[in-house]
Amino acid sequence: MNKSALRFVAGNGLLDRRAFLKSGYGLTLAAALGLSPAGRVLAQGEPPMPAWMTRLGGADSDYGSPAAHERQVLRQLQPSTAQTAGFSIWHSPLQHQRGSITPSGLHFAVHHNGIPAIDPERHQLLIHGLVERPLKFDLERLLRYPMVSRIQFLECAGNTAANALSPTARDADCQALFGQVSGAEWTGVPLSYLLREAGVKAAARWVICEGADGGSHSRSLPLAKLLDDAIIAFYQNGERLRPSQGYPLRLFVPGWEGNVSVKWLHRLEVSDSPVFSKDESGLYTRILSDGEILAFGFPMEVKSVITHPSGQQQLPELKGFYEVSGLAWSGMGRIAKVEVSADNGRSWAPAQLQTPVLDKALTRFSIPWQWTGAATTLLSRATDALGNTQPSRSEWRSRYAAHSFNHYNAIQAWRVSSSGEVENVYA
């Protein structure tokens, strides 16, 4: 076997994955590239087994916990700023995760008015307005309806706001910059069942959805979308919703900005027009570069990020083989392809998509990379099934006013120095 058999498919060492798999990894790959083996040679006289293999282990617990050595992998509370005053925002540690499902305890969360302590025995859901039969449900009755389960992402409209606003790239890790997106299995009752039971009137076009938190967070949503694929969610990743995710029930609207998936849902008012609530009239309205206002722009645009290597990480070897991997998603549908560049966009190579590639879900991508040790910049660029592709940062900024930051989806760049340090940069 020789180096050419590995098929470098783009500049600065990106490898063809199929050829890499056929190479046999380990010694075969190392020999082909003139490297030392990745594994450590067993030292003479080294003990054949560690101490924990010589005695019985400890007891388990009634609710599983992470390993003691992984307890530093936690959500991160975003410091309060002028844009987030009054909110609490918890970021998911994307750089420490693999696959495409976020554990419930690490799922990002944004709270406008804190977390209400709701008694599920007293909580009710009201459907009223332009309906033939106003209805009120308690939790026990709602749980009788047939349910569906879907693996889909949830992303805050303000995810990656720092890269949208800051004139210079902020020195931050992947969690701080991208941690307001997560993927989970959501289980609940299709909202269409309840709306049809109430009998939606012909004039109905919108639904005002209100939560039972102290500030009564509410959003006006198109009736057509809620009849299409929205659910009343009771479960996340197979267990009942946690309080930070809306226990005992929340609205879940696939692919749309996170704030419309109203937590602690208690009221649905069917209407012929939007109500222009506080948040939808201010926080979640985007201003374009020409001064025009973009209201009710709900779907989250196609986006991707390399999670490893990523910001503030340190590559352990100053050259050698690494896997470049990350996540891609689109509120418009499935991810069609992800391309990776290891030379600041001069050349691109197709990454492998981890299957199954699901509708409006996080999709894991990866590509082998033989790093030469020279300083370089890593980029990822996703395209969805409708042909939407991520823009450059300059393209995105040209569309919006200088103070706009919601729905930022520009290509992310990570600079890898010759000493193996990784930092956030603008390409």
Q: Could you count the other beta carbons within 10 Å of the beta carbon of residue 406?
A: 22
- At 255, list the tokens: 């692919």
pLDDT digit string, tens, across residues 16-60: 877 766 666 554 555 545 554 556 666 777 777 888 888 999 999
| Mean pLDDT score across all residues of the chain | 92
Residue 297: pLDDT over 50: yes
Q: What is the DSSP letter of 223?
A: H
- At 180, list the tokens: 């307001």
Which distant-in-sequence residues (6+ apart) come within 8 Å of 61 by Cβ? none
Whole-angstrom Cα distance, residue 324 to residue 425?
A: 17
pLDDT at 280: 87
**Between residues 4 and 24, the one the model is more confident about:** 24
Domains of the chain: 76-158+184-294 (3.90.420.10)
Least confident of 4-18, 22-36, 165-179, 378-392: 22-36
**Dihedral sign (CA 210, 215, 220, 225):** negative
Residue 85: pLDDT over 70: no
- In this prediction, residues 66-79 reach a mean pLDDT of 92
Percent of the chain with pLDDT over 70: 91
CB burial of residue 389 (10 Å; 0-12, 13-18, 19+)? middle
- In this prediction, residues 183-190 reach a mean pLDDT of 98
Whole-angstrom Cα distance, residue 169 to residue 163?
A: 7
Residue 219: pLDDT over 70: yes
Percent of the chain with pLDDT over 90: 80
- In this prediction, residues 409-416 reach a mean pLDDT of 98
Residue 259: pLDDT over 90: yes
**Between residues 52 and 136, the one the model is more confident about:** 136
Q: Where are the alpha helices (DSSP H) in 54-128?
A: none
pLDDT at 1: 38
- Using DSSP, state whether 277 is helix, strand or coil: coil
Q: Could you count the other beta carbons within 10 Å of the beta carbon of residue 171?
A: 11
Contact 411, 298 (CB under 8 A): no
Whole-angstrom Cα distance, residue 321 to residue 29?
A: 9
Whole-angstrom Cα distance, residue 137 to residue 191?
A: 13
pLDDT at 2: 45
Residue in 326, 310, 311, 328 with CA at minimum distance from that of residue 409 = 328
Q: Could you count the other beta carbons within 10 Å of the beta carbon of residue 96?
A: 16
Residue 265 backbone dihedrals phi, psi, to 5 degrees: -55, 130
pLDDT at 41: 66
Helix, strand, coil shares, percent, the chain, to 5: 20, 30, 50
Least confident of 76-90, 283-297, 313-327: 76-90
pLDDT at 9: 85
Residue 422 backbone dihedrals phi, psi, to 5 degrees: -115, 135
- At 247, list the tokens: 């226990």
Strands 181-190 and 148-155: antiparallel
pLDDT at 25: 54
- In this prediction, residues 275-282 reach a mean pLDDT of 86
Strands 218-222 and 231-236: unpaired
Residue in 323, 373, 308 with CA at minimum distance from that of residue 25 = 323
Contact 362, 100 (CB under 8 A): yes
Contact 364, 277 (CB under 8 A): no
pLDDT at 81: 67
- In this prediction, residues 343-356 reach a mean pLDDT of 97
